[in-house]
């Protein structure tokens, strides 16, 4: 560039002849003419594309392969190298580079161009993602829901065991409470949790009952993307990627989901202090605009639990979501209502809650409560050592000592008496019963009724005294004192 500008100055300003410049530099006169015409080197300009003699006969074949790829999964489409290898088997003798350049030119025309969208305050987008977490020392995959606000770019993240109706509900409930309001309009993909069927060429949808319940409670409007058009909710798609790379890297080391979700919530709060390119303020400042446009939270919280009516089996088990949960044996063969949320499963019969279990997220598993089967074992004491619900039920050593002594003293009835002692757990805690058993062993009072007495503090025994309160008709009853002389006469003694 330095020589270029110097030659131009000498000829155009100082008046040096062109012949002299050609003699001094030895360049071609056409080159000098180009230098005087352009203030900087114009670069090489090809008048027409070079012909590709070897590839001309195979361009149509490449276009056919690329067209067929459109119907294939994205991860199972041809690369330029694979196309070159296939062309070689069909007689092509050219190199890889010319094929690669041709594939790049053809695919550039097929790539879709998107229209930038405006994001109004009070709108949201929701999607699920997956990530690995070290949960209580075990590496496992979790699903996390992201609720993103495109206007402020604020987000809410919550992790779950699985993506299902209950976790979908819970994520919305917690997200609305986190932001302090309900988004007016929420965009989704066509998840089966919300969309039962796509009809009318992708324009209309039949919604699931669960999604309609959520929408009816919070009164937000919905928008579903066209099939395979995740770019229509591109903000939350980006937030899912951002969350995985920033909140789950390195892999979180947590004890349980409570600790994990507390950490994710705090990271969402901290992220509000970040300012995005082109924005006037931080996310926290823009969030105020979203909150001003939100709908108000309902007066009552949405019950994010799925309810199912079923019948307890002969094994006192109730099936819910491919798993079995126990109920007290008195409710076997009875109708039971199951209410399952993302943490617990509650079972009710005749309007009262009869059992409660932690939610099982695997499939074909069983969760027993040993206390549910003690009433049946009292009638069938021979099954005590083979009862599956009692497998893994570890009791203190004093219970084993009590059982051995009862079985030694009462022979056939000792096991039943021991089960009657265990049934005290239906009304008392295990630590209290353990203390009572230890006290009973110390004084030699080894029966169910004797042990029950130790479960009540001595000062509470006064509540077992009969009271006339509420029985006014008994106040007129008079009981004569016992006549000891009559008893002596029965014994045959005159004195």
Q: What is the DSSP string of 94-154?
A: S-HHHHHHHHHHHHHHHS---------TTEEEEEEEEEEEEETTEEEEEEEEEEEETTTTE
For residue 464, pLDDT over 60 is answered with: no
Q: Which residues contact residue 274 at a Cβ distance below 8 angstroms, ignoring those fewer than 6 apart?
A: 282, 283
Domain 123-293, what architecture? 2-Layer Sandwich (3.30)
pLDDT band at 217 (very low <50, low <70, confident <90, very high): very high
| Residues 429-443 as b or e (16 or more Cβ within 10 Å = b) | eeeebeebbbbbeee
For residue 228, pLDDT over 70 is answered with: no
* pLDDT at residue 491, as a whole number: 81
For residue 458, pLDDT over 70 is answered with: no
For residue 227, pLDDT over 80 is answered with: no
For residue 460, pLDDT over 70 is answered with: no
Main-chain dihedrals φ then ψ at residue 348, nearest 5 degrees: -125, 150
More confident: 321 or 117:
321
Provide mean pLDDT across the span 90-114: 83
* pLDDT at residue 445, as a whole number: 86
Return the minimum-mean-pLDDT range out of 148-152, 224-228, 346-350, 421-425.
224-228
Tens-digit pLDDT profile for residues 340-383: 999 999 999 999 999 999 999 999 999 999 999 999 999 999 99
For residue 462, pLDDT over 60 is answered with: no
Instruction: Give the span between the Cα atoms of 382 and 468, in whole angstroms.
Output: 45
Provide mean pLDDT across the span 35-40: 88
* pLDDT at residue 459, as a whole number: 47
Q: At what angle do helices 80-89 and 96-110 cross, to 10 degrees?
A: 120
pLDDT band at 329 (very low <50, low <70, confident <90, very high): very high
For residue 216, pLDDT over 70 is answered with: yes
pLDDT band at 465 (very low <50, low <70, confident <90, very high): low
Q: What is the pTM of this model?
A: 0.71
Q: Provide the residue ranges of all domains of the chain, joining segments of one domain with +.
A: 2-37, 56-110, 123-293, 306-367, 376-464
């Amino acid at each position: 560039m330095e020589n270029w500008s110097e030659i131009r100055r000498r000829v155009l300003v100082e008046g040096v002849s062109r012949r002299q410049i050609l003699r001094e530099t030895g360049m071609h006169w056409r080159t000098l003419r180009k230098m005087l015409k352009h203030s900087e080197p114009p670069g090489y300009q090809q008048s027409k594309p070079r012909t590709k003699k070897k590839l001309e006969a195979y361009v149509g074949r490449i276009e056919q392969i690329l067209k067929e790829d459109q119907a294939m999964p994205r991860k199972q489409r041809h690369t330029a190298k694979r196309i070159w290898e296939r062309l070689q088997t069909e007689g092509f003798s050219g190199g890889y580079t010319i094929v690669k350049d041709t594939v790049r030119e053809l695919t550039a025309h097929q790539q879709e161009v998107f229209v930038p969208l405006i994001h109004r305050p009070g709108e949201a987008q929701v999607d699920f993602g997956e990530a690995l977490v070290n949960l209580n020392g075990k590496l496992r995959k979790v699903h996390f829901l992201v609720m993103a606000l495109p206007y402020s770019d604020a987000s809410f993240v919550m992790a779950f065991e699985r993506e299902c109706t209950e976790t979908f509900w819970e994520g919305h409930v917690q997200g609305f409470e986190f932001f302090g309001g309900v988004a007016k309009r929420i965009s989704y993909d066509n998840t089966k949790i919300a969309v039962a069927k796509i009809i009318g060429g992708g324009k209309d949808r039949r919604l699931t009952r669960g999604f309609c319940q959520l929408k009816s409670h919070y009164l937000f409007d919905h928008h579903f993307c066209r099939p395979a058009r995740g770019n229509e909710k591109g903000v939350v798609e980006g937030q899912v990627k951002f969350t995985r790379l920033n909140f789950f890297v390195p892999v979180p080391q947590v004890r349980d989901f409570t600790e994990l979700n507390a950490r994710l919530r705090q990271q969402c709060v901290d992220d509000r202090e970040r300012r995005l390119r082109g924005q006037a303020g931080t996310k926290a400042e823009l969030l105020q605009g979203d909150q001003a446009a939100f709908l108000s939270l309902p007066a009552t919280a949405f019950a994010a639990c799925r309810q199912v009516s079923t019948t307890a089996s002969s094994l006192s088990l109730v099936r819910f979501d491919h798993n079995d949960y126990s109920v007290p044996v008195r409710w076997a063969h009875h109708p039971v209502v199951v209410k399952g949320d993302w943490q617990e499963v509650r079972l009710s019969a005749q309007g009262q809650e009869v059992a409660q279990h932690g939610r099982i997220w695997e499939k074909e598993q069983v969760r027993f409560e040993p206390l549910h089967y003690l009433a049946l074992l009292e009638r069938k004491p021979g099954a005590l050592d083979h009862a599956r619900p009692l497998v893994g039920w570890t009791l203190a050593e004093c219970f084993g000592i009590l059982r051995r002594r009862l079985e030694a003293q009462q022979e056939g009835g000792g096991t039943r008496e021991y089960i009657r002692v265990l049934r005290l757990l239906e009304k008392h805690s295990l630590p209290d019963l353990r203390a009572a058993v230890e006290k009973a062993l110390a004084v030699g009072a080894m029966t169910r009724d004797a042990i029950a007495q130790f479960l009540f503090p001595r000062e509470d025994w006064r509540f077992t005294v009969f009271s006339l309160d509420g029985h006014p008709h008994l106040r007129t009853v008079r009981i004569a004192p016992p006549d000891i002389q009559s008893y002596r006469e029965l014994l045959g003694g005159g004195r």
